[in-house]
Each structure stands twice: as C-alpha cells, then as structure tokens.
Amino acid sequence: MNEAQRTVLVVGATGSIGRYVVASALDHGFAVRALVRDVARGKSFPPEASVVVGDLTRAESLNEAVAGIDAVVFTQGTYGNSSGAEAVDYGGVRNVLAALQGHKARIALMTAIGTTDRKGSHDWKRRAERLVRASGQLYTIVRPAWFDYNEPDQHRLLMLQGDKALSGNPSDGAIARRQIAEVLVRSLSSEAALSKTFELHSERGPEQTDFDPVFASLEADAPDALDGARDLPNMPLDSEPARIVADLDRIRTDVERRT
Ligand SMILES: NC(=O)c1ccc[n+]([C@@H]2O[C@H](COP(=O)([O-])OP(=O)(O)OC[C@H]3O[C@@H](n4cnc5c(N)ncnc54)[C@H](OP(=O)(O)O)[C@@H]3O)[C@@H](O)[C@H]2O)c1
C-alpha cells in the first residue's frame, strides 16, 4: 500500500511524544492530521502536517478530526490527575472511537508500563485499552517504560508482556521518546503488530532496522479478551463502576450491530 494515501490522526500531538509521532508519521509518508485544543499550539508543526481543533472531553468536537482517517495514534495524557485521567486518558479514547461510528481506522494506543498495577490513574489507561480491544478496530497497544531514561548506548528495542516491572520508578525500564513514536507509527503498517499489547523497553545496543521480528515474537491478545496477553486478571468486570461497564457494552453492541 502507498503510505502517502493514508491519513493518520495524531491525538496528543502537542505533547512530548505526540510531537515525535507527527515527525515520524511524516517521515513514513503518512498524511498527518494533528489534533490540538488550541490552534496557536499547532503553529509549530512542520508545514506538511495539517491541524484540526478538538477537545477529547467533548465528543461533539471530534467529528472533523476523524473524518476519512485511516489510522489514529493516541498519545494524550494527564500525568496522574485522576479526574483528568478519566476524562482524557480514558474518555478521549472512548469519544474518538464513538466519533468513528464504525469507520475502520487502524489504532496505535500508548498507555504506560504499570497499567495493570491497580495504582493511581493507571486503571483509566487500562480501561482505555479495554475499549480499544472491544472496538472491532485493528490495533496495537504500546506501554512505554520511563521516557528518555535510557543510556546513550541503549537503543535496542525490547518488547515485554505481563506488565511485571512495577516498582514505579525508572529502574523498571527506559525508552527514548523518539523510539516510542517510531514504534507507534510503524505498528500502523505491520501485520505482525496486530492485536499485540506490550511494554516497550530498551537495552544496550543499536536499534533494530526491521521492527517486525520484534512485534512477531509477541503473543497476540485473545479475541474478545478484556486485557492484554499475559496480563494479571486483577481487574474483574463485575467490580468495575457501572458507567465503565455501560461504555464497554455500548461499544460491543455497536460492533455487533455493524457486523
Ligand atoms: N514520563 C514517563 O516516563 C511516562 C512513561 C510511560 C507513560 N507515560 C504517560 O504518557 C502520557 C503522555 O505523556 P507526554 O509526556 O506526551 O504528555 P504531555 O507532554 O503532557 O502531552 C499530553 C498531550 O495530551 C493533550 N491533551 C490533554 N488533554 C486534552 C484534551 N482534553 N483534548 C485534547 N488533547 C488533550 C495535550 O494537549 P495540550 O497541548 O492542549 O495540553 C498534549 O498534547 C502521560 O499520560 C503519562 O502517564 C509517561
């Protein structure tokens, strides 16, 4: 497929990862649509990127953003503020998926290592992951380790599963921001990355040229699974808030209605 013909919506485009995603997607020949809340903040993007205004917390503001897109990369975040995490980390994913109204778009969702630790705002990232798995869209979910804590010679990608590094500090692992963006963007064109949920780390050595063998080494999420392959089953649906269960039911019903 000619990548020049694919349009990717970058959510969180003004953020510390989103800016790298915009650059990487342009490098890979995508047409880039950067979602911003404040149009003035969109002025610093390369001129080839287009900018669309929308607020993830207002579903009705996202229709123009998703019109005709082929892919979405989610990198938005609120850094631990719990009500923000519900509205933006989780609600932003829910609202973009709803705005798509079944239109097919390949998804790359960034969450975080420790998403399954049941601490702080991480449950909201995990709930966003669950919506993506239930959405019927083709997806990859990337849980990065600590941003830019890598050593100068630490660029070899390491993708792990089971979310076992849970100290909550940089000893859990590190990955460069640029590489997170590159993995998110390359996943959009990779069969080997389909239905994969993984923690993204780095180890000493040069970056792999071809990411597909790294994606291919991972276990795919089971069809209809709520959580990632090898995640602990420590967030049962019957103990989830009713509004969360209702969101999942709605998305599943929509998928059934459209198939
Ligand atoms: N630091 C780490 O080591 C680490 C590791 C793993 C995961 N993470 C997670 O990575 C996430 C993102 O990190 P980052 O450094 O890229 O964050 P960031 O620089 O703060 O960027 C956040 C992005 O989200 C956007 N956003 C927030 N609320 C929005 C809304 N209502 N509508 C539309 N866009 C909205 C922001 O837009 P504006 O410019 O309009 O504010 C910005 O583009 C965080 O949630 C964090 O938990 C961090």
pLDDT in tens, 139-171: 999 999 999 999 999 999 999 999 999 899 999
Neighbours of 248 (CB within 10 A): 18
Distance, CA 61 to ligand 1 centroid (Å)?
Answer: 19
- Spatial separation of the C-alpha atoms in residues 91 and 56, rounded to whole Å: 7
Looking at ligand 1, which residue's alpha carbon is closest to its atom 9?
112
Which ligand 1 atom minimizes the distance to the CA of 12? 43
- Spatial separation of the C-alpha atoms in residues 20 and 55, rounded to whole Å: 20
The domain in which residue 223 lies consists of: 3-258
How high is the mean pLDDT of the chain?
95
Structure tokens at 100: 């798509």
Distance, CA 103 to ligand 1 centroid (Å)?
Answer: 25
Task: Give pLDDT, residue 41.
Answer: 87
Task: Give pLDDT, residue 5.
Answer: 67
Task: Give pLDDT, residue 3.
Answer: 43
Closest CA to 172 of 251, 106, 119: 119
Distance, CA 160 to ligand 1 centroid (Å)?
Answer: 23
Distance, CA 96 to ligand 1 centroid (Å)?
Answer: 16
- Spatial separation of the C-alpha atoms in residues 116 and 229, rounded to whole Å: 12
Structure tokens at 182: 């590159």
Choose which residue among 37, 38, 57, 110 to substitute to test ligand 1 binding: the one with the highest number of ligand atoms within 8 A of its C-beta. Answer: 37
Task: Give pLDDT, residue 83.
Answer: 80
Distance, CA 110 to ligand 1 centroid (Å)?
Answer: 10
Distance, CA 176 to ligand 1 centroid (Å)?
Answer: 16
Angle at which helices 122-134 and 242-258 cross, to 10°: 20
User: Residue 9's beta-bridge partner residues?
Assistant: 33, 72
Distance, CA 48 to ligand 1 centroid (Å)?
Answer: 23
Which ligand 1 atom minimizes the distance to the CA of 58? 31
Task: Give pLDDT, residue 79.
Answer: 84
Distance, CA 75 to ligand 1 centroid (Å)?
Answer: 6
In this prediction, the residues of the chain whose per-residue pLDDT falls under 70 are: 1-5, 80
User: Residue 146's beta-bridge partner residues?
Assistant: 174
| Amino acid in the structure at residue 46 | P
Q: What is the DSSP letter of 90?
A: I
How many domains does the chain divide into?
1
Which ligand 1 atom minimizes the distance to the CA of 18? 16
Looking at ligand 1, which residue's alpha carbon is closest to its atom 13?
77
- Give the residues surrounding ligand 1 with Cβ less than 6 Å away: 12-18, 37-38, 41, 55-57, 75-79, 88-89, 112, 144, 146-147
- Spatial separation of the C-alpha atoms in residues 77 and 55, rounded to whole Å: 13
41 Cβ contact list (under 8 Å, min separation 6)? 14
- Per the CB < 8 A criterion, the answer to whether 144 and 173 are in contact is no
- Spatial separation of the C-alpha atoms in residues 223 and 228, rounded to whole Å: 10
E strand intervals along 1-92: 7-11, 31-36, 50-53, 71-74
Instruction: Kindly list the distances between the CA atom of residue 236 and the CA atoms of 131, 228, 247, in Å, as whole numbers in the listed order.
Output: 15, 14, 15
Task: Give pLDDT, residue 120.
Answer: 87
Task: Give pLDDT, residue 1.
Answer: 45
Choose which residue among 9, 10, 14, 72 to substitute to test ligand 1 binding: the one with the highest number of ligand atoms within 8 A of its C-beta. Answer: 14
Task: Give pLDDT, residue 172.
Answer: 95
- Per the CB < 8 A criterion, the answer to whether 10 and 4 are in contact is no
Find the CATH number of the domain harbouring 103: 3.40.50.720
